[in-house]
Structure 1
Amino acid sequence: MTETTDAGAGTATTTAARAHARSQAGAVVDCMPLLPPPPGTLWSETVAGGGYTHLALPAGAHVTLTDRDGDACAHLLLYVTGRPWERLSAADTVKVQWNAYLGTGSQLLSDQGRVLATVTADTSGRHDALAGTSTAARNTARYGDGSPQGPSPAGRELLLLAAAKHGLGPRDLPAAVSLFHGIAVDGDGALHSTGSAGPGTAVTLRLEQAVTLLLANTAHPLDPRPAYRCTPLEVLAVPGEVTGPGDPHWDATPERHRAHLNTAALGVR
């Protein structure tokens, strides 16, 4: 067999495959991490619609998620780094704060009453802490395919891939919260979609502990549109400080104050 380094002629040999792979060095595409991250940042990435990412970030980091084109939906899970049994509890996030709707000032709480992240800024206002993410079975029924490599990947299956990168498995996946696609509760308790707030909206999370963040950017399970629709999500993490006494978020409500005290008492932020 004649070897070739012409990518257009295929990659039928290891020599050709290596040459083709090396020819991609320095290429920039629309959705990818920036390596190295820009100066002054911890991470910068654009996650494609139907894609996922996972980050281990220090306490105090500020993570800004931006719905670039207006149809991103960030399904988010948080775990305390080194103590992954302490993780996001969507139920406690809603119950403890007496509020089913996330926004500026909301805490993302663990199942042990501690703060994992504080929402310090929000220009979207369209989020969901109730419905969870999509599943392969649901997406297959709706769109014909829910596999991670297919045209309409499901959030749970992408989060499972992200979790595996950190030694976590199916038993470790709690219900996710979803950002940039709103859900409202009707008087009879039914949920309905309120859609997106539009392109360019952003949410900033201040991490109150060292956190491992798993994120799947997939269509919301209650999106009423017949076609699978999900556009890129921008992720930017920069260093910062945790919330401390005197910060308006510390004393915003008695419940939030208590959650910050629980977190500070742990002494490992």
Structure 2
Amino acid sequence: MRDLHQTDSVTASRSDARAQGGATSDWMPYVPASSSPFAPDGVDTADLVWAETVAPGGYTHKVLARGSRIRFDDPTGAACAHLLLFNALEPWERLNVADTQKIPWQAYLGQGSPLLSGDGRALATVVEDTSGHHDAFCGTSTDAWNERKYGGAAPEGPTPSGRSLFAKAAAKHGLTKQDLPPSVSFFQGVRIDPDGAMEFTGSAGPGHHVTLVAELPLLVLVANVAHPIDPRPEYAVGPLRVHAWRGAPTTAADDRFTASPELTRAYLNSIDHAEARGC
């Protein structure tokens, strides 16, 4: 228990607060990002613009420049990174999961998959994927779902819903619950059986990562919460590591640009949109 005399005056409170300046937590952003102890191999730490370990049941958010690389790491095999993307310049343009699946003819996300907006533009592209266990069907958990399964869903409690955490992250950027579309998630897989039933395939195990490239300036929202159809009775989720660094968006020189007519059109739309805005 802390000594109350440490905070019994403004001067003492200031000294006490400053004395804690070097304290660390297992779950924290690293500021500056170059101080991250978990920087990905081959990435110059001077190029890092975001570095954070997100707690189980935690969330994070960041605005990133076009071309940024965004890497999610699952160190324990238990993370579940629910992701929403918005055009940072015009946030009414946002991830459209239905278009992300149907336009590029991709039911399952993996390396080369674009994440599309409802305006026919690529917001981001998956450029690395060692996991293969992802989901673009279920979205994230709701308050009603978590209350029924775990007995609670409050964002400050032990079993927060993904929607409640997304709402907190969105509010920091002037957005409301009505601005939140369905999300995708990484590291806990779902497949569709021949009869149409959803099969939860779980994790590929510890040590996997997914890397995206931002095709437009992005607002990124992440909720690291238990997958909604995980059959385990406990709230099962582990830590998530996030790093981002400077890079370049997809261009005509990249193989993925011409991988299909649909991808070419999505990238052309993104390039046109970005260049018209000086990006």
Residue 226 (1) aligns with residue 233 (2): yes
Native 8 Å contact 1:7 1:20 kept in 2: no
Residue 143 (1) aligns with residue 134 (2): no
Q: Which of 33, 36, 39 is residue 32 of structure 2 equivalent to?
A: 36
Native 8 Å contact 1:159 1:216 kept in 2: yes
Residue 202 (1) aligns with residue 209 (2): yes
Native 8 Å contact 1:117 1:209 kept in 2: yes
Aligned length: 264
Range that drifts further, 35-44 or 52-61: 35-44
Which 4+ runs in 1 deviate beyond 6 A?
none
Measured against aligned partners, the alpha-carbon deviations of 1:18-53 in whole angstroms (never above 9, x if no partner) come to: 444333201121110111110221111000010000
Partner residue of 1:51? 58
Partner residue of 1:24? 20
**RMSD (Å) for aligned C-alpha atoms:** 1.5
Partner residue of 1:7? 2
The 3-state SS of whatever aligns with 1:86 is: coil
Distance (Å, rounded) in 1 between the aligned partners of 2:94 and 2:8: 46
Instruction: Quote the offset at 1:82 in angstroms.
Output: 2.0
Partner residue of 1:110? 117
Partner residue of 1:172? 179
Give TM-score, length-normalised by structure 1.
Answer: 0.94
Distance (Å, rounded) in 1 between the aligned partners of 2:9 and 2:226: 38
Partner residue of 1:211? 218
Could you say if the C-alpha distance between residues 14 and 259 of structure 1 is closer, same or farther in structure 2, counting changes exceeding 3 Å?
A: farther
Could you say if the C-alpha distance between residues 32 and 13 of structure 1 is closer, same or farther in structure 2, counting changes exceeding 3 Å?
A: same
Distance (Å, rounded) in 1 between the aligned partners of 2:224 and 2:218: 19
Native 8 Å contact 1:33 1:46 kept in 2: yes
Native 8 Å contact 2:7 2:16 kept in 1: no
Native 8 Å contact 1:73 1:179 kept in 2: yes
Distance (Å, rounded) in 1 between the aligned partners of 2:67 and 2:176: 27
Native 8 Å contact 1:124 1:202 kept in 2: yes
Question: What letter is aligned with 1:215?
Answer: V
Measured against aligned partners, the alpha-carbon deviations of 1:218-264 in whole angstroms (never above 9, x if no partner) come to: 00001110100111100000000010012011011111111111111
Query: How many percent of aligned residue pairs carry the same amino acid?
Result: 50
Partner residue of 1:3? none
Question: What letter is aligned with 1:220?
Answer: H
Residue 74 (1) aligns with residue 81 (2): yes
Could you say if the C-alpha distance between residues 14 and 70 of structure 1 is closer, same or farther in structure 2, counting changes exceeding 3 Å?
A: farther
The 3-state SS of whatever aligns with 1:250 is: helix
Give TM-score, length-normalised by structure 2.
Answer: 0.91
Native 8 Å contact 1:80 1:87 kept in 2: yes
Could you say if the C-alpha distance between residues 119 and 21 of structure 1 is closer, same or farther in structure 2, counting changes exceeding 3 Å?
A: same
Distance (Å, rounded) in 2 between the aligned partners of 1:74 and 1:24: 30
For structure 1, which runs of at least 5 residues remain unmatched after alignment? Answer: 1-5
